[in-house]
Structure 1
């Protein structure tokens, strides 16, 4: 859960930053690995 909210915060503050994009990609990979 911590990772989820951290990514959400990053997305809100840096929605145009590559960090947020990488975070979203990481979350997608986590969902694929741990459904």
Structure 2
């Protein structure tokens, strides 16, 4: 996995992290609503 992210480059890695954070925040919000 580390090799893959290294090949893909820094730009897409930050994009992936950003999307992962958004997904995680939505997941937490949905759990808190219940």
Q: Which runs of 4+ in 1 moved over 6 A?
A: none
Computing the radius of gyration from Cα coordinates, the structure with the larger value is 2
**Greater relative contact order (Cα 8 A, min sep 6): structure 1 or 2?**
1
The TM-score, its normalising length taken from structure 1, stands at 0.51
Structure 2, gaps ≥5 residues long = 29-34
Structure number having the greater helix percentage: 2
Kindly report the root-mean-square deviation, in angstroms, between the aligned alpha carbons of the 2 structures.
2.2
